[in-house]
Chain A
Amino acid sequence: MLRMAWRETRGAWRHVAHVLACITLGVAALVAVGSFGDSVLGTIAGSARSLAGGDVEIRGSQPLPPAAEEAVASLVGPGAATTRIRQLNAMASAADDGVSPRTVLVELKAVDRQYPLYGRLAVEPDRPLDEVLGEGRALVHESFLPRLGLRVGDRFRLGNRELVVSGTIRDEPDRSLGLFTLGPRVMIAASDLEGTGLVQPGSRVRHRTLVRLPDGRDPETVRDGLAARLGAIARVTTYTQAQPGLRRMWDQLTSYLGLTGLVALLVGGIGVGAGVRAFIAEKVMTIAVLKCLGAPWRAILGTYVLQTAGLGLAGSLLGAGLGSALQPLLAPVLAPLVPFPVVVAVSPGAVLRGLAMGVGVTLLCALWPLLVIRRVPPALILRRQVDAPMPGREPWLAALPIALGLGGLALWQAGSLRIGLWFVGGFAAGLVLLFAASRLAIAGARRLPRLPSLPWRHGLANLHRPGSHAGVVLVSMGLAVMLVVAVALLDRSLRAQLADRGAREAPAFFFIDVQADQVDPFRALVRGAGGRDPEVIPVVRSRLAAVNGQPVARSAGSRADDWYLTREYVLTWAVDPPGRNTVVAGRWWTAEEARAEPLISVEEDIARHLGVGLGDTLTFDIQGVSVAARVTNLRRVDWRTFNANFFVIFTPGVLEGAPGSFIATAHAMPADEPRVQAAVVSALPNVTAIPVREVLTRVTAIMDQIALAIRLVAGFTIAVGLIVLVGALTATRYQRLYQSVILKALGATRGLVARVFAVEYALLGALAGLGGTALAAVLAWAVLRFVLDVPWTWQPATLTAGIAVSTALAVLVGFLATFRLLGERPLHVLRGE
Chain B
Amino acid sequence: MVSVRGITMRLASGGRAVDVLSDVSLDVPARQFLAVAGPSGSGKSTLLGLIAGLDRPTAGRITVGEVEVTALGEDELARFRRDTVGYVFQSFHLIPTLTALENVAVPLELSGEPDTGARALALLADVGLGERAHHYPVQLSGGEQQRVAVARAMARRPPLLLADEPTGNLDSATGTQIIDLLLALNRRLGSTLILVTHDPALAACADRIVTLRDGRVAGDELANGHAAA
* Chain A contacts for B91, CB-based, 8 A: 833
Partner of A739, one of B45, B87, B97: B97
CB-contacts of A546-604 with B (<8 A): none
- Min Cβ gap A754→B in Å is 11
Answer whether A747 and B82 are a contact pair too, CB < 8 Å, given A742-B93, A827-B46, A831-B49: yes
> Which of A387, A739, A752, A833 is close to B95, meaning CB atoms less than 8 Å apart?
A739
CA distance A831 to B75 in the complex (A): 21
A to B CB contacts below 8 Å, 25 in the list: A461-B97, A742-B93, A742-B94, A744-B78, A745-B52, A745-B87, A745-B93, A746-B87, A746-B106, A746-B107, A746-B152, A747-B79, A747-B83, A747-B107, A747-B110, A747-B111, A748-B82, A748-B110, A749-B74, A749-B79, A825-B55, A826-B49, A826-B54, A827-B54, A831-B45
- State whether the Cβ of B56 lies closer than 8 Å to any Cβ in chain A: yes
A750 at the interface (CB under 8 A from B): yes
Given the interface pairs A461-B97, A750-B78, A833-B91, the reply to whether A745 lies near B54 with Cβ below 8 Å is: yes
Q: A833–B109 contact, CB under 8 A?
A: no
A714-753 contacts to B, CB under 8 A, are 735, 739, 742-752
Contact of B97 with A465 in the complex, beta carbons under 8 Å: yes
Known: A743-B106, A827-B55. A750 touches B75 (CB 8 A): yes
A782 touches B (CB below 8 Å): no
Residues of A within 8 A of B54 (CB): 745, 825-827, 830
A238 contacts B by Cβ under 8 Å: no
CA of A743 to CA of B75 in the docked complex: distance in angstroms?
A: 12
Q: Which of B91-111 contact A (CB under 8 A)?
A: 91, 93-98, 102, 106-107, 109-111
| A10 is an interface residue with CB less than 8 A from chain B | no
Contact A742/B95 with A749-B75, A749-B78, A751-B75 known, Cβ cut-off 8 Å: yes
The verdict on A688 contacting chain B, using a C-beta distance below 8 Å, is: no
Q: Is B89 an interface residue (CB 8 A)?
A: yes
* A166 at interface by CB-CB < 8 Å: no
- Return the CB mask of B105-144 against A: 1 if under 8 Å, else 0: 0110111000000000000000000000000001000000
**Cβ of B81 < 8 Å from any Cβ of A?**
yes
CB closest chain-B residue, reference A460: B97
> Could you tell me the dominant secondary structure of chain A's interface residues?
helix
Residues of B within 8 A of A830 (CB): 49, 54, 89, 93
In the complex, A752→B74 CA distance in Å? 12
Closest-CB distance, B214 to chain A (whole angstroms): 18
| Chain B hits for A748, CB < 8 A | 78, 82, 110
Whether B93 lies near A752 (C-beta < 8 A) is: no
Residues of B within 8 A of A150 (CB): none
Task: List the 3 closest A-B pairs by CB distance, nearest first.
Answer: A747-B82, A827-B55, A827-B49
With CB as the reference atom, state the residue of chain B lying closest to A454. B109
Q: Check if A677 is an interface residue, CB within 8 A of chain B.
A: no
Report the nearest A residue to B87, measured CB to CB. Answer: A745
Is residue A447 within 8 Å, beta carbon to beta carbon, of the partner chain? Answer: no
* Contacting residues, chain A, for B45 (C-beta < 8 A): 831
The answer for the CA separation of A746 and B109 in the assembled complex, in Å, is 11
Best-surrounded residue of B46, B78, B85 (most CB of chain A within 10 A): B78
Contact across chains for B49 and A750 when beta carbons are under 8 A apart: no
Answer whether residue A3 sits at the interface, using C-beta atoms and an 8 A cutoff. Answer: no
Assembly CA distance A147 to B97 (angstroms): 72
For chain A, residues 452 to 478, give those with C-beta under 8 angstroms from any C-beta of chain B: 454, 457-458, 461-462, 465-466
Complex contacts, A458 vs chain B, CB 8 Å: 97
A828 within 8 A of B: yes
A827→B106 CA distance, assembly (Å): 19
Q: How far is the CA of A748 from the CA of B109 in the complex (A)?
A: 10
> Are A462 and B97 touching (Cβ within 8 A)?
yes
Which residues from B are CB-within-8-Å of A745? 52, 54, 81, 87, 93
Distance in Å from the Cβ of B114 to the closest Cβ of chain A? 11
Interface residues of A (CB under 8 A from B): 387, 454, 457-458, 461-462, 465-466, 735, 739, 742-752, 823, 825-828, 830-831, 833
Give the B interface residue count (CB, 8 A).
34
Q: Compute how far the CA of A826 lies from the CA of B164 in the bound complex, rounded to whole angstroms.
A: 14
Chain B neighbourhood of A735, CB < 8 A: 96
- 0 or 1 for each of B49-76: is its CB under 8 Å from A? (1 = yes): 1101011100000000000000000110
Contacts of A752 in B (CB 8 A): 78, 110
CB neighbours of B79 from chain A (8 A):
747, 749
Contact in complex: A747, B81 (CB < 8 Å): yes
Question: Residues of B contacting A827 with CB < 8 Å?
Answer: 46, 49-50, 54-55
Q: Is the CB of A746 within 8 A of B110?
A: yes
Query: With A746-B106, A747-B110 as given contacts, are A461 and B93 in contact (CB-CB < 8 Å)?
Result: no
Query: Which single residue of chain A is at the shortest CB-CB distance from B89?
Result: A830
B74's partner among A387, A454, A750, A833 (CB-CB below 8 A) is A750
Chain B's closest residue to A828 (CB) is B55
Known contacts A826-B54, A827-B49; is A465 also within 8 Å of B83 by CB? no
Q: Which chain B residues lie closer than 8 Å to A750 at the CB level? A: 74-75, 78
Contact A461 B98 (CB under 8 A): yes
For B87, the chain A residues whose CB sits under 8 A away are 745-746
- Which residues of B have CB within 8 Å of A465? 96-97
Cα–Cα, bound, A580→B54 (Å): 78
- CB closest residue in chain A, given B91: A833
A819 to chain B, nearest CB (A): 14
Contacts of B56 in A (CB 8 A): 825
| Chain A residue, CB-CB nearest to B81 | A747
**Cross-chain contact B97 with A454 (CB below 8 angstroms):** no
On chain B, the residues within 8 Å of A833 by CB distance are 91, 93
Question: B145 → chain A, closest Cβ, in Å?
Answer: 13
Most A C-beta atoms less than 10 A away, residue of B46, B87, B107, B138: B87
Shortest Cβ gap from B14 to chain A (Å): 15
Contacts of A454 in B (CB 8 A): 106, 109-110
Residues of chain B contacted by A747 (CB below 8 angstroms): 78-83, 85, 107, 110-111
Note all chain B residues with C-beta closer than 8 A to A739. 95, 97
Interchain CA distance A85-B93 in the complex, whole Å: 87
Residue of B nearest to A461 (CB): B97
- Chain B residues with Cβ below 8 Å from A461 are 97-98
Cα A833 to Cα B49 in complex, Å, equals 15
Complex Cα distance, B44 from A827, in Å, reads 13
Tell me the bound Cα distance from A747 to B75 in angstroms. Answer: 9
Shortest distance from the beta carbon of A678 to any chain B beta carbon, whole Å: 76
Q: How far is the CA of A750 from the CA of B79 in the complex (A)?
A: 11
Cβ–Cβ contact B81 & A746, under 8 A: yes
Q: Which residue of A lies closest to B82 (CB)?
A: A747
Instruction: Across the interface, name the chain A residue whose C-beta is closest to B94.
Output: A742
Smallest Cβ distance from A821 to chain B, in angstroms?
Answer: 13
Q: Which residues of B contact A826 (CB under 8 A)?
A: 49, 54-55
Complex: how many Å from CA A745 to CA B54? Answer: 7
The CA of A828 and the CA of B152, in the complex, are separated in Å by 21
Which residue of B has the minimal Cβ distance to A823? B74
Question: Which residues from chain B contact A746 at a C-beta distance below 8 Å?
Answer: 81-82, 87, 106-107, 110, 152
Q: Which residue of B lies closest to A467 (CB)?
A: B96
Additional A-B contact list (8), CB under 8 Å, known A745-B93, A746-B110, A831-B49: A454-B110, A457-B102, A743-B106, A747-B83, A748-B110, A749-B75, A750-B75, A826-B49
Measured in the bound complex, the distance between the Cα atoms of B138 and A506 in whole Å is 71
Report the separation of the CA atoms of residues A454 and B111 in the bound assembly, to the nearest whole angstrom: 11
Residue of B nearest to A453 (CB): B109
Whole-angstrom distance from the CB of B15 to the nearest CB of chain A? 17
A residues within 8 A CB of B107?
746-747
Q: In the bound complex, how far is the Cα of B75 from the Cα of A749, in angstroms?
A: 5
Task: Tell me the complex Cα distance, A831–B102, Å.
Answer: 23
